[in-house]
Structure 1
Amino acid sequence: MFKDRQSAGRLLAKHLKEYKAKKNTLVLGIPRGGVVVAAQVARSLNLPLDIMVTRKIGAPFQPELALGAVDADKEVVWNLKEINDLGLKIKDLKKEAEKQVCEIKRREVLYRQGKTPLSVADKMILLVDDGIATGLTILSAAKYLKRHKVKKIILAAPVASQDAGLKLLEHMDESVILETPGDFQAVGQFYQSFEPVEDAEVIQLM
């Protein structure tokens, strides 16, 4: 159990000490909550901070049910088993995917406030989120980063479901997840305080 995202980030940083002030290394946070954790990691390790925006594609009748995830390049990772089990087709989700790409663009502009995105090519990336449920947005981020020729991806999160943690291993060069509980239901259950993070807080942290 973590007190809040800030304390989780500081604890996570202790497990990433080998990257402190390491040359050609960036911390990328998944908005919104992941940026709060990532900011603490970046501050503790004296590393540059930026955002990595990917978006979940939810089911038409249940937006919280992740059927895929999309990145800024409009590339999509689909949960084909879940889509088939629900009797849906990918074409049924295209509009939602397009909507989420627009949201990615909005967030990138809003959060950076005119700042130039940090170049990820040939960099070691600490990819940080506040917790991982299905792993789809993280997988989408990893595929995006690989297309953009990063040197290494280190996944870092305070907590993840066992299933997601295992599935993501093959897509990362290294994985630092502090807890992978068997009774995982939602990320928030492992935080004493898990308040919604607003855009203004992300902007301030950037």
Structure 2
Amino acid sequence: MRLPFDDRAEAGTLLAARLSGLGLRAPVVLALPRGGVAVAVPVARRLEGVLDVLVSRKIGCPGYPELGVGAVAEGGEPVFDPGMLRRTRSAEEDFARVVARERAEVARRVAVYRGGRRPPATAGRDVVVVDDGLATGVTARAALRAVRTGEPGRLVLAVPVGAPETADALRSEADEVVVLATPARFHAVGQWYRRFDQLDDGDVLRLLGRGSARGDV
């Protein structure tokens, strides 16, 4: 796989081509906002699936918000990284305020992105969770566990690029993990894209509107 990708759209097109060989039938394609939505648009189109979002938020360490110790996704319980808890000498209970704040942000984004629509039904369906890359994988793990509670028929995690150890660790959370590239010297998702612009809520809504396969079922 040639790296870096030009942008998320190119990465999504290549990912869609790989996924087309899995025999997925009209899948529900759930994108992790914000960056995962740009990747998921060509995936949903190629697979003729239903495109929607699944909001998952990192739980940061107080005072060091970029240091993720866990994550929480809509419809799911907080998921913590045991290694990070040991590293920070913390317990899950220490993050109650952070979890509450991130739950509120999850609810805000769900309201903005879905506008009161109910999420697509996933019971017995093929479901593909899409993000623009895997670093620690904590938000993807929380998302997969939240989706699993809806009893999908087949659960696939699909990303263009990811840290090798993270991709391996997440294979226990999904029926299949599809990663186009797992470069050894992985430091951050953005290093594997020529253009890796930060997206805002308006970008997400615009992209969802372009997802021609999007709809309610």
Q: Indicate if the aligned counterparts of 1:20 and 1:46 stay in contact, CA closer than 8 A.
A: no
Deviation, 1:19, is 5.5
- From 42, 56, 66, the equivalent of 1:40 is 42
Question: What is the SS of the residue equivalent to 1:114?
Answer: coil
Instruction: In structure 1, list runs of 5 or more residues that go unmatched.
Output: none
CA distance in structure 2 between the aligned counterparts of 1:20 and 1:4, rounded to whole angstroms:
26
- Structure 2 length as normaliser, TM-score? 0.90
Deviation, 1:38, is 0.6
Alpha carbons of 1:53 and 1:122: their partners in 2 closer, same or farther (altered >3 Å)?
A: same
Q: Indicate if the aligned counterparts of 1:3 and 1:191 stay in contact, CA closer than 8 A.
A: yes
Q: Deviations over 1:102-161 (max 9, x none)?
A: 111111110112333111111111110000111111111111111111111111100010
Instruction: In structure 2, list runs of 5 or more residues that go unmatched.
Output: 209-217
- Paired residue type of 2:181: E
Q: Indicate if the aligned counterparts of 1:160 and 1:187 stay in contact, CA closer than 8 A.
A: yes
Q: What is the aligned partner in structure 2 of residue 109 from structure 1?
A: 111
CA distance in structure 2 between the aligned counterparts of 1:45 and 1:20, rounded to whole angstroms:
9
Deviation, 1:90, is 2.0
- From 62, 65, 68, the equivalent of 2:67 is 65
Question: What is the SS of the residue equivalent to 1:67?
Answer: strand
- From 164, 188, 191, the equivalent of 1:189 is 191
- Give RMSD over aligned pairs: 1.4
- From 111, 117, 120, the equivalent of 1:118 is 120
CA distance in structure 1 between the aligned counterparts of 2:185 and 2:179, rounded to whole angstroms:
16
Q: What is the aligned partner in structure 2 of residue 165 from structure 1?
A: 167
- From 75, 78, 81, the equivalent of 1:79 is 81
Deviation, 1:69, is 0.7
Q: What is the aligned partner in structure 2 of residue 26 from structure 1?
A: 28
Alpha carbons of 1:84 and 1:42: their partners in 2 closer, same or farther (altered >3 Å)?
A: same
Identity of aligned residues (%): 38
Matched residues, number: 205
